[in-house]
Chain A
Amino acid sequence: MPMTEALREYFGHITDVVKTFWEGMTVTLSYMVRRPITVQYPDRTAQRVADTLPSRYRGLLEVDINVCTGCMACERACPISVIKISTDKDPSNLKQRVIAQFDIDESKCMFCGLCVEPCPTGAIQHTREFESTMKSVDNLVFRWIPDPKNPAPFYRPVKGQDAPRAPVGEILRQRMAKADWTARGGIFPVTGPERKG
């Protein structure tokens, strides 16, 4: 009976259309009342995104200058010479050596972590901060001695005691929070030697 078969096929198509419309429309409508998976970075997240990253995330470098021994191990370890440290003697107390300059060019840093490993006190650490957009690239030279006239003394490690390092990320976050990303030389003032390249 090819006639009835053809008819069955014809009306089968129509019922297929109705059924698939029904199925498809219920599926799409159901998504109207579900929560979209979109995360509204950067300003409408429940937490700062940096705080949600894993603790071993290698973000921007931070130096706690109060526990820096001035050993320059990080400068030597850096494969691309991103870190620039210079030391000096305290004019008022010639026995006391001081760190006169501690610059990290975060725009060049490749976040390899080789500088963190040799640090004896954990003064230099990767943070979980990553939002480093600046209008001027010079702002990405982070100067951990903001004023060369006010250098920091070398830290002497005490045997059997951990260095009293500030919580990782605190210092950087405070300085970034005060920063105006559009400013030129605002966060970490450009007062040292000219940036190369």
Chain B
Amino acid sequence: MRITLGLDSTSLTRRYPRLAVLATLFMAFVAPLGLYIGALVFFPLNTPERLDAMAKQWLGFDLAASHYRHLVYAVFLLLVAFVAVNFTAVFGGVSTWVERRVAGRMQSRIGPNRTSAAGFLAWVADAVKMVLKEDTVPASADQLLFRGAPYFSMVGLLLPFVVMPFGESVVATNMNVGVFYIMAVTAFVVVGILISGWSSNSNWALFGAVRGAAQVISYEIPAGIALMVPVLMAGSLSMQDIVRAQGGMPWDWFVFRNPAAFVAFFISVTSSLAEGNRTPFDLPEAESELVAGYHAEYSGFRLAIFLMVEWANMWIMAGLAVTLFLGGWQVPFVASETYKAALGAGLVPTPSWFGLQALSMLVFSLKTWGLVIVFIWLRWTLPRVRVDQMMSLCWKYLVPGAFLCFVVTLLWQLLVPPLGNTVTGVVLSLVAFVLLAKFLLATYRNIGRVKGDRVDLTNW
């Protein structure tokens, strides 16, 4: 007699292979699609004026005059928050699976491939395991702070989603100080790290926390100055305005618009890696030295939150870089001003607005995922740097470099006519294209260097 639990995924997938494929497809496409549709519906509606207008148009109800209008607004705010929180959780989970599969392949392994089709649901299994584990608090820890630390990290992760532009109009709030706001609130993560390290009453955790604080505070400077470059080029701190100042094609992206921005892009990505504690800058949790660093004493759900923050932070880092340097949600061949003019003149049908939103969200997500995969790829390429190397990289190279980019951009904006921007954009994007081709060629040649190796995509 065989006893199987309902949650025993191995036996379930053995018995019903189609069920496994269906569950995988559901989790891989339908659930994220639901989140995207939620974002598409709730994010643009999230202003009192639009809600009032919608209530008047569709329900014939004057919401603005109602006593309960703040309640309705609050409900919509909660819906937006719900979508954002779930988005981070699902993204954090899926990225762990992507990371493990990419890492496996890069190390000539396979990675998790048994839980459901292609092992995709491994992240759900991990999350369930984490949640079911006991949440212990060390006896000598500062109870309140120890329990409270994950909330700070979580808040630091979630707040940037308020201004993260997912699509043409799909943004929770178009804040006019968006970039500044993101720089300010991401510091919450390090507050959580410091609190957790201090309250754990453990040497390893305290070392990790102090390292984290030193690292994040140092790298705020080059990151902030490098982020000023696209701000200067767009003349606005609002994330949406910065995207609107760019275009859909690569030569319209800020990264190629002037040479200083090209350098600033790399400075900004390096600094955000350091701020997000990603390898090669994961010193706060260097497992060879500090066990697990600031979250060494955590277990169960609170540890799950720390890990989720760490992985979901990749979306913030990548999304910020995509928004500021890589054209954000700008759809190639569809300029949003031209589209708006056409919509106003009645040249295109109104439902196509949703099409544009969906397309722009797709473009933004693809670019962001691409950058996330580059982060993962970097992690499995580079060894961890030492503390002194990290500090010298920041203060000797990134800070002067960022200042130089800043000054060059100022002069460029003053001295170079708009045509110069376009010419530079075309030239630099061509250079980038040639470099990419050379890179892929070098990669292909590397395969032949090992005797008997060739391009072979089997054994998944």
Residue from A24, A28, A29 whose CB has the most chain B CB atoms within 10 Å? A28
* Option from B1, B378, B442 in Cβ contact (under 8 Å) with A26: B442
| Assembled-state Cα–Cα distance A13/B385 (Å) | 15
Residues of B near A40 (CB, < 8 A) are: 110, 459
Contact between A30 and B443, CB atoms less than 8 A apart: yes
Q: Do B443 and A26 have beta carbons less than 8 Å apart? A: yes
Give Cα distance in the complex from A29 to B109, angstroms: 14
Q: State whether the Cβ of B61 lies closer than 8 Å to any Cβ in chain A.
A: no
- Taking CB atoms, residues of chain A closer than 8 Å to B447 are 30, 33-34
Contact B105 A24 (CB under 8 A): no
How distant is A23 from chain B, measured CB to nearest CB, in Å?
8
B105 touches A32 (CB 8 A): yes
B288 at the interface (CB under 8 A from A): no
Q: Does A191 contact B (CB under 8 A)?
A: no
Q: Is the CB of A34 within 8 A of B453?
A: yes
Q: A34 vs B455: C-alpha distance in the bound complex, in angstroms?
A: 5
Nearest Cβ on chain B to A182's Cβ, whole angstroms: 6
With A13-B397, A22-B439 in contact, do A38 and B444 touch (Cβ < 8 Å)? no
Closest-CB distance, A56 to chain B (whole angstroms): 28
Q: Which residue of A lies closest to B448 (CB)?
A: A30
- Which residues of chain A are within 8 angstroms of B15 by Cβ–Cβ distance? none
Tell me how many residue pairs across A and B have CB atoms closer than 8 Å.
Answer: 67
A192 to B105 alpha-carbon distance, docked (Å): 52
Q: Is A37 an interface residue (CB 8 A)?
A: yes
Q: Contacting A25 at CB < 8 Å: which of B108, B381, B450?
A: B381
Residues from chain B with a CB closer than 8 A to the CB of A35 are: 456-459
B107 at the interface (CB under 8 A from A): yes
Distance between A142 CB and nearest chain B CB, rounded to angstroms: 23
- The yes or no answer to A14 lying at the interface (CB within 8 A) is yes
Q: How far is the CA of A27 from the CA of B380 in the complex (A)?
A: 11
Q: Mark B377-389, 1 if CB is under 8 A from A, else 0.
A: 1101110000000
The distance in angstroms between the C-alpha atoms of A10 and B382, with both chains bound, is 21
Residues of chain B within 8 A of A13, CB atoms compared: 397
Interface check B451, CB cutoff 8 A: no
Q: Does B335 contact A (CB under 8 A)?
A: no
Q: When A33-B447, A35-B458, A36-B459 are in contact, do A25 and B106 touch as well, CB less than 8 Å?
A: no
Contacts of A24 in B (CB 8 A): 381-382
Given contacts A28-B380, A38-B108, 11 further A-B contacts (CB under 8 A): A27-B381, A28-B106, A30-B444, A30-B446, A31-B105, A32-B105, A34-B455, A35-B457, A36-B104, A37-B109, A38-B459
- Interface residues of chain B, those whose CB is within 8 Å of chain A, are 1-2, 102, 104-110, 377-378, 380-382, 396-397, 439, 442-444, 446-447, 450, 453-459
Q: List 6 A-B contacts (CB under 8 A).
A: A10-B396, A29-B443, A33-B456, A34-B454, A36-B109, A38-B110
Q: Nearest 4 A-B pairs (CB), nearest first?
A: A30-B446, A35-B456, A26-B442, A28-B381
